[in-house]
Amino acid sequence: MSDPNRPFTDEERAGLYRAIFERRDVRSQFLPDPIPRPVLARLLKAAHHAPSVGFMQPWDFILIDSLDVRQQVLASYHEENAKAANNYSGERQETYRSLKLQGIIESPMNLCITCDRSRGGSHVLGRSSIVEMDLFSTCLAVQNLWLAARAEGIGVGWVSIVDQTKLAGILNLPDNVYPLAYLCLGYVSEFLDQPELQAKGWRSRLPLTELMHGNRWGQPMDDETLLNALKS
Amino acid sequence: MSDPNRPFTDEERAGLYRAIFERRDVRSQFLPDPIPRPVLARLLKAAHHAPSVGFMQPWDFILIDSLDVRQQVLASYHEENAKAANNYSGERQETYRSLKLQGIIESPMNLCITCDRSRGGSHVLGRSSIVEMDLFSTCLAVQNLWLAARAEGIGVGWVSIVDQTKLAGILNLPDNVYPLAYLCLGYVSEFLDQPELQAKGWRSRLPLTELMHGNRWGQPMDDETLLNALKS
């Protein structure tokens, strides 16, 4: 391991920011090419090195290539998505129906990252006040994997339109294990230069300066230097 | 913006992995030096570019330097931590009490990242089946910020031992806003070469190979090439 106290080079730092700013939620651009095992191992190690409350490491990784499993998950997606579409009407519903929101079958691999809520026993350090800290920790593992994938040229799409109880049944999860993230992974034909929902006019990026508060909610963060830097 | 489809250079990719593997949850090594505004802006922009369900961007950022606010949060920490310590007994309790679990006052800045559960209206795309997707999205923003901070030489510590209802009161949050992450930020005297809880014998890193499943929970992931790569 390199000296952890050596400052990052400009290019190392730029690499991290590229992954952050050029990461996308991929649904439509998956290529069928398999992910080489050494690359997949790097993604999983990245996830496993996420922070976790009390070093609980509540995650497990279910690698899914079975077409049968994927078709069952897809069926739950279709059912949930039909209900979701009915929340909209008119032109908005038309736009909703035109959006492709998953790549379960086209991607060469699906990955479910789960959260074992009983790991580490009944008292996990740092989890006594906020019991959901295990779920939050698992999210941090998802983001590590997502960014590592981007740096490897691999797209990730999070399928959130699925019934978690059905998903747990399909994957045969024990009661204490929650299927936190159902992900599609694969190389892509391209990474879009902006989020697809923005490109399609669904929703725009909020101005960051409007999300800032000073010391308490609703108090202005009146640091002009910082506000200007946030605009650039 | 650079061409998003240019492959990452080896050094760019290495920069991301350095941030992932050398990131720490910092409690004891904070220096009082202020964080320059342009650097802080980069961290906040990194957070704001996290993925979010339906492009909801449910996060807000409360920058806290007020000593009064921080002392109130610290008081809640002490109260919660005293209760938490009573979950352990004997030697384990002694170890627990010896651990420093927050740097609220020593760090030059605290940051609360909140989740506005009502943002985007009553129907947020992708959030119809799993209502907690907004909280999960906010976690992804936390991890982006944490990694960006690491690349900038800045330590982050997540204070999870705090009463969220009291914290919401201290920060004057509206009912629909949840204080997801209370973070301490600052330059550090050093980044430890392993997680502090591991160094102090509290808990060790789990073997990644034992967290792998094939297609369904409990089924072996019998890909020897991958298993070997995960061990290295």
Q: Do B127 and A23 touch (CB under 8 A)?
A: no
B169 and B70 both lie in a single domain:
yes
Residue B153 covered by a domain: yes
Q: Which of B120, B187, B84 is nearest to A123 (CA)?
A: B84
Provide the residue range defining the domain that includes B91. 18-201
How near does any CA of chain B get to the CA of A83, in Å?
Answer: 8
B29 and B126 both lie in a single domain:
yes
What pLDDT is attached to residue A232?
Answer: 82
Residue A228 pLDDT exceeds 90: yes
Average model confidence (pLDDT) across chain B: 96
Residue B151 pLDDT exceeds 60: yes
Q: Do A15 and B20 touch (CB under 8 A)?
A: no
A182 and A212 both lie in a single domain:
no
Pick from B12, B37, B225: CB nearest A223: B37
B190: which chain A residues are within 8 Å (Cβ-Cβ)? 4-5
A38 and A135 both lie in a single domain:
yes
Residue B1 pLDDT exceeds 70: no
A119 and A211 both lie in a single domain:
no
A218 and A179 both lie in a single domain:
no
A141 and A83 both lie in a single domain:
yes
ipTM: 0.98
Of the pLDDT bands very low, low, confident and very high (cuts 50, 70, 90), residue A52 is very high
- What mean pLDDT is predicted for residues B5-25? 97
Residue B70 covered by a domain: yes
Domain tally for chain B? 2
A64-123 residue pLDDT tens: 999 999 999 999 999 999 999 999 999 999 999 999 999 999 999 999 999 999 999 989
Of the pLDDT bands very low, low, confident and very high (cuts 50, 70, 90), residue A4 is confident
Look-up of token digits 């308490």: A216
> Which class for B18: exposed (0-12), middle (13-18), buried (19 or more C-beta within 10 A)?
buried
Q: Cβ of A178 under 8 Å from any chain B Cβ?
A: no
Residue A3 covered by a domain: no
> B84-92 long-range contacts, Cβ below 8 Å, gap at least 24?
B84/A123, B84/A125, B84/A128, B84/A129, B84/B161, B87/A122, B87/A123, B87/A128, B88/A123
A130 and A219 both lie in a single domain:
no
B98 and B176 both lie in a single domain:
yes
| CB < 8 Å from A in window 19-48 of B | 19-23, 25, 37-38, 40-42, 44-46, 48
* CATH number of the structural domain spanning residue B105: 3.40.109.10
B18: which chain A residues are within 8 Å (Cβ-Cβ)? 2, 8, 12
B80-116 residue pLDDT tens: 999 999 999 999 999 999 999 999 999 999 999 999 9
A149 and A212 both lie in a single domain:
no
Pick from A88, A129, A163: CB nearest B162: A129
What pLDDT is attached to residue B152?
Answer: 98
| CB < 8 Å from B in window 56-85 of A | 56-57, 59-66, 69, 80, 83-84
How near does any CA of chain A get to the CA of B32, in Å?
Answer: 18
How near does any CA of chain A get to the CA of B219, in Å?
Answer: 9
